[in-house]
A and B are shown apart, each in its own frame.
Chain A
Amino acid sequence: MSNQGTHFASLVRPYVLVGGRTSSSHPELRWETLVEAVPERASGVGTSEQQVLVSLANKPVSVAELSAALRLPAQVVAIIVGDLLDAGVVRVHVTDPVEIELSALTRMIARVRAL
């Protein structure tokens, strides 16, 4: 995945990419939130970092992983994802931690035990 990442941060000051904004208008976008491109809308993106982000999100990928691949701070990635969400280009898998049930914990325990 990281091969696809390019280094926008070294090219442009990160916050210039997002017009000087420092927080996303989507508080549900956390570092672990999974982002997935909406294939039929993926052609509607403008800037090059948006294009790379959408191509990385061809399967669910977290804001943090996008941050690592794009070499941009997670907060900046959250702002870009928020813009793409508003444009309908991506969707997000929102997880409310209070909704995590015993079955999910049981599956996690089994997976970790198998390490």
Chain B
Amino acid sequence: MSAPFSPSQDRSSTANASSSHTVNTSSAHSANVNSARTAIGSSGLGGGRPHVTAVKFVVAGGFGVGKTTFVGSISEVEPLSTEAAMTVVAGEVDNHLAVGHTAKTTTTVALDFGRLTVDEALVMYLFGAPGQGRFSFLWDDLVNGALGAVLLVDTRRVEDCFAAVDYFEQKRLPFVVGVNCFDNAPRYPLEEVREALGVAKAVPFIEMDARVRSSCRDTLLVLLELLVDRLGAPSAI
């Protein structure tokens, strides 16, 4: 285990990769309540020790809107960074002409995430997710299994959130909108921001400041309370 490390090396890579873009909108275990309650190994090992539930939340928004700050405000550890690989077919339209060539490239995008331990049986994870449409390849993985999302909006760049709004609505992922108040940004009434985003009245809007921990906490609480409400009316959107 004495792996040499070369920090300067470029870690984006190419691979002879077939498409990994699968859509998983529901768990394979939804029909089996017991499987959701028991830690399983495919060989049937591992009974006896307690099940730990991990839940995921997504914090989405454009660059510089405060996603990492938000994640860091909630996380009990310094935000960690993972990366997601993206397989793109280069020149998709002309690909049939490139017979014999694997015209695919894998690039990676770094994502920050944090963890908050609730108790010995429950852990929350928060993942920062770029909201612009060109990152939508990530969202299936991120949203699959997520309980809900916080969408952070910069009123100077509302358009960075359009694709995320469409996606969350399509996946019926509960979300709240945090309108991040930047010092030099124009203030708009929340209803105007809601109209600009084209978001239904049922979606909570909160004016917040991602630099302030209590503001992030309160925004997440609004999402959690929305989830409590949804338990009573699961089909509401």
Chain A positions within 8 Å of B, measured between CB atoms, are 2, 6-11, 13-15, 20, 22-23, 26-28, 30-34, 36, 38, 41, 48, 51-52, 60, 62, 64-65, 67-68, 71, 73-76, 85-86, 88, 90-102, 104-109, 111-113, 115
Contacts and interface: CB of A to CB of B under 8 A. Distances in A.
Interface string B55-74: 11000000000000000011
A6 B51 CA distance: 29
A54 to B, nearest CB: 12
Contacts of B84: 73-75
Nearest to B11: A9
The binding surface of chain B is classed by DSSP as mixed
Contact of A60 (B28, B37, B52): B52
B3 interface: yes
B100 interface: no
Given A22-B17, A27-B24, A102-B228, 18 more contacts: A7-B3, A10-B5, A30-B144, A34-B52, A36-B49, A60-B123, A68-B80, A76-B85, A86-B43, A93-B51, A93-B52, A96-B36, A97-B147, A100-B55, A105-B224, A108-B55, A109-B225, A111-B118
Interface of B: 1, 3-7, 9, 11, 13-20, 22, 24, 27-30, 33, 35-37, 39-43, 45-46, 49, 51-56, 73-74, 80-85, 87, 106, 108, 113, 115-116, 118-119, 122-125, 127, 141-142, 144-147, 213-214, 217, 220-221, 224-225, 227-228, 231
